[in-house]
Structure 1
Amino acid sequence: MEIRKADKSDIEGIVNVYRVCFPRELKHQLWIEASFHSYPRGIYYVISDEERICGYILWCVKNGFREKTIIELEQIGVHPDSAGRGLGKKLIETSVRQFKDHLGSLGHAVGAILVTTSEGNYAEHLYQSALGVSRAAVIQGYGSGSEVILYNNHLS
């Protein structure tokens, strides 16, 4: 499995994973293309085998380009056909280093990491173990339920 920064030719593969992972969302292509064009603020990374994109992650700068900025894991998806193989954790751990390097090349350090997820989502434990985040707040009635805000501002 290869993890790398996505390029324009990966948009269709990212959309395919997004569509399967988030079926209630609308206009998948439009969302991915708009987010893709947020560079250098946001970058998609993909994990792929020799045949197709198995998953993607979108990292974004949350609070502007500062000396120490906050980054957000805005979205991650692993195709159900590839789930259960540890690809999500591998994608998170590898891509966060790549995104930190990207920001470093622009002259910025990462001071904190933010990620949100639906309350009760198994991914909360994944984020805690992979990123060292912990619960900072819960927003009741967010979307279809409650949203958990996870945060880590004790980065070394």
Structure 2
Amino acid sequence: MHISVREMAQADLEGAAEVHRLAFTRQQHSFKWLESNLNAAPKTFCYVAYADASCVGYIIWSQKAGFRPSAVVELEQIAVLPSMQGKGIGAVLITGTLSDVAHKLRDQGADLKHILVTTRADNHAQRLYRSVLGANVEATLSNLYSADEVIMIARNVKT
């Protein structure tokens, strides 16, 4: 299966919203959520993954605390269709977009310093963030959304 990754465009929102709806069943207003992130450029960078003509995932990167010379970027959200999880698409989304994010930051006069990830404490995706980004758990927040959340940080990222 060939996975292609590219910047998200308005035309991708319906497919990405379906991924969001299926991956995050407790969240609402999938289209509006993704559209607001897409419209937040250059603070936010959005990408989609396709298998053939179908959107199978997306990733949202967001700059934190303003435009700074040493940027901290949050992997704000990543989602893969539940039927496609476990096939490496999340890793492709991260590795296939991170260099573009770093390039966009350089165009803004910034270098990528750290990557921040928050996720549920019981989310198996922590292994992905650890293996692909080198992120480690640095804090746990009790009962933040639907359960405990962990804050993971990949420090001094090289792209």
- Global fold match (TM > 0.5): yes
Identity percentage of aligned residues: 33
Deviation at 1:64, TM superposition (A): 1.1
Matches within 5 A, 1:122-133: 122-133=124-135
Counterpart residue type for residue 127 of structure 1: Y
Give me the CA root mean square deviation: 1.0
| TM-score (structure 1 length as normaliser) | 0.96
Secondary structure of 1:141's counterpart equals coil
1:118 aligns with 2:117: no
Alignment match, 1:155: 157
Deviation at 1:27, TM superposition (A): 1.3
How far apart in 2 are the matches of 1:21 and 1:100?
A: 27
Alignment match, 1:59: 61
Q: Which of 83, 86, 90 pairs up with 2:85?
A: 83
How far apart in 2 are the matches of 1:55 and 1:29?
A: 14
After superposition, what is the alpha-carbon deviation per residue over 1:53-86, rounded to whole angstroms, capped at 9, x for unaligned?
1100000101211111100000000002222211
Deviation at 1:51, TM superposition (A): 1.7
Alignment match, 2:100: 98
Count how many residue pairs are aligned between Structure 1 and Structure 2. Answer: 156
How far apart in 1 are the matches of 2:5 and 2:125?
A: 20
How far apart in 2 are the matches of 1:34 and 1:154?
A: 29
Q: Which runs of 5+ in 2 are unaligned?
A: none
How far apart in 2 are the matches of 1:71 and 1:118?
A: 19
How far apart in 1 are the matches of 2:65 and 2:113?
A: 11
1:140 aligns with 2:137: no
Tell which deviates more after alignment, 93-102 or 110-119: 93-102
After superposition, what is the alpha-carbon deviation per residue over 1:79-131, rounded to whole angstroms, capped at 9, x for unaligned?
02222211111111111111111111121111111001100110011101111
